């Protein structure tokens, strides 16, 4: 394709005056509200504190800088990349990817993070009053999410399914990475939930279902295996203190998903997941009536795990051998698989 640059290009240049770094000024996201177009830009201060800039335009050519819409406080990183601003249920949601946040407990364990704040944007002053930062994904490989509104009004999000400076084996084959499956965002009780878009159900084939299966120790189910699989699982924890699943298992390889009752957390462990970086990530998850509900998408080099209806999501790139395709359930005491649905994709 050939692109002809307009004579006004670039339409925003240079960075505004004030405490705005002149060189870290990127990632525009544009939307329309009323008679105006608006744009948020990723930025940092001259002392390297992340922030987001807000612009306004009538014609997409002449842009007016309005204000620094939001700025980091303390632990909020040295640069806010890939901002995205939209409204949902009367609230303003700012999605951004802060670079350089320090780890805090089980949070912010990746090199850089991706999350959101919820508040209210004053379009005249250009200032966003907002609450605390929340993560959008608790796994290893999720960065720079962007959203769009589809024709029915759903807010659909897709993110880069890699992380900066990750030692990904596909680099040796000049493979450039991957994106997540599309996820619908829903605002519920002041938090965003992420759910796989229902259209993905069209990819399902070879359905297998099991109900009321008791597990003691470790077991697998006939036909529940594969490298490109969707799983929906409801587990009654009963008296078990630790239980979970092993995905893409075989050849002494496995990606372990473990619920730890004492910690009220889900741990995703890819230490034995094959080539590539290992590690463990955790997300705090409360069991509802002692049940853990999972919707898992396994692709050749990735797992995307939606927990309790999208309350928490964990994403990871994994690189096991091709025939490490087993799926196993395990526990330290008896658990019951109330229902297991498996589809090939």
For residue 218, the cross-strand partners are 330
Helix (H, G, I), strand (E, B) or coil at 28: strand
Q: Cα separation of 297 and 205, whole Å?
A: 14
- pLDDT over 90 (residue 65): yes
Specify whether 149 is located in the same domain as 71: yes
Task: Give the pLDDT band (50/70/90) at residue 321.
Answer: very high
Specify whether 329 is located in the same domain as 221: yes
Q: Cα separation of 170 and 177, whole Å?
A: 8
CB 43 within 8 A of CB 3: no
Provide mean pLDDT across the span 68-94: 94
- List helix spans (H) across 201-321: none
CB 288 within 8 A of CB 268: no
169: number of CA atoms within 13 Å, CB side? 14
Domain-embedded: residue 11 = no
Backbone angles phi, psi at 4, to 5 degrees: -100, 115
Distances (CA, A) of 105 to 281, 282, 294: 11, 10, 24
Domain-embedded: residue 171 = yes
Task: Give the pLDDT band (50/70/90) at residue 167.
Answer: confident
Helix, strand and coil percent figures for the chain, each rounded to 5: 5, 55, 40
pLDDT of residue 168: 87
CATH number of the domain that residue 328 is part of? 2.60.120.560
Q: How many percent of the chain have pLDDT more than 70?
A: 100
pLDDT of residue 166: 86
- pLDDT over 90 (residue 75): no
Domain-embedded: residue 3 = no
pLDDT, one tens digit per residue, over 216-234 is 999 999 999 999 999 999 9
Radius of gyration of the chain, Cα coordinates, nearest whole angstrom: 22
pLDDT of residue 115: 97
Angle at 110 between CA 267 and CA 226, to 5 degrees: 50
Specify whether 187 is located in the same domain as 221: no
Specify whether 181 is located in the same domain as 319: no
Specify whether 64 is located in the same domain as 133: yes
Provide mean pLDDT across the span 250-262: 96
The per-residue pLDDT of the chain, averaged, comes to: 96
Domain-embedded: residue 12 = no
CB 41 within 8 A of CB 22: no
* Number of domains into which the chain is organized: 2
Number of helices and strands in the chain (H, E): 0, 25
pLDDT, one tens digit per residue, over 175-202 is 878 999 999 999 999 999 999 999 999 9
Comparing C-alpha atoms, which of 133, 338, 323, 111 is closest to residue 233?
338
Q: Which domain holds residue 252?
A: 199-344
Residue where the block lists tokens 């014609």: 59
Contacts for 267 with CB less than 8 Å, ≥ 6 apart? 256, 257, 258, 259, 260, 280, 281, 282
CB 341 within 8 A of CB 213: no
Helix (H, G, I), strand (E, B) or coil at 240: coil
Specify whether 340 is located in the same domain as 215: yes
Task: Give the pLDDT band (50/70/90) at residue 174.
Answer: confident
The pTM of this model reads 0.95
Domain-embedded: residue 211 = yes
CB 270 within 8 A of CB 278: yes
């Amino acid at each position: 394709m050939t692109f002809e640059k307009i004579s006004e290009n670039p339409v925003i240049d240079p960075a505004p005056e004030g405490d705005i770094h002149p060189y870290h000024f990127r990632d525009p996201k544009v939307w329309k509200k009323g008679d105006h177009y608006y744009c948020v830009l990723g930025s940092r201060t001259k002392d390297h504190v992340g922030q987001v800039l807000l612009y306004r335009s009538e014609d997409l050519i002449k842009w007016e800088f309005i204000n620094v819409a939001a700025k980091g406080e303390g632990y909020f990183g040295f640069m806010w990349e890939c901002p995205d601003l939209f409204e949902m249920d009367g609230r303003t949601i700012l999605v951004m990817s802060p670079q350089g946040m320090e780890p805090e407990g089980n949070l912010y364990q990746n090199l850089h993070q991706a999350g959101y704040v919820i508040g209210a944007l004053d379009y005249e002053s250009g200032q966003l009053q907002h609450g605390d930062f929340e993560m959008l994904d608790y796994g290893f490989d999720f960065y720079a999410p962007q959203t769009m509104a589809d024709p029915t009004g759903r807010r659909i999000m897709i993110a880069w399914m890699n992380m900066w400076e990750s030692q990904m084996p596909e680099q040796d084959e000049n493979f450039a990475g991957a994106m997540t499956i599309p996820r619908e965002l829903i605002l519920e009780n002041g938090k965003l939930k992420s759910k796989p878009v229902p259209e993905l159900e069209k990819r399902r084939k070879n359905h297998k279902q099991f109900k009321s299966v008791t597990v003691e120790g470790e077991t697998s189910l006939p036909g529940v295996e594969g490298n490109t699989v969707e799983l929906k699982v409801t587990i009654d924890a009963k008296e078990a203190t630790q239980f979970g699943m092993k995905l893409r298992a075989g050849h002494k390889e496995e990606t372990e998903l473990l619920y730890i009752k004492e910690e009220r957390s889900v741990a995703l462990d890819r230490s034995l997941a094959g080539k590539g970086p290992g590690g463990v990530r955790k997300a705090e998850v409360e069991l509802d009536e002692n049940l853990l509900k999972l919707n898992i998408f396994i692709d050749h080099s990735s797992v995307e795990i939606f927990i309790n209806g999208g309350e928490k999501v964990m994403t990871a790139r994994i690189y096991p051998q091709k025939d490490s395709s087993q799926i196993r359930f395990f526990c330290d005491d008896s658990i019951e698989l109330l229902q297991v649905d498996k589809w090939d994709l």
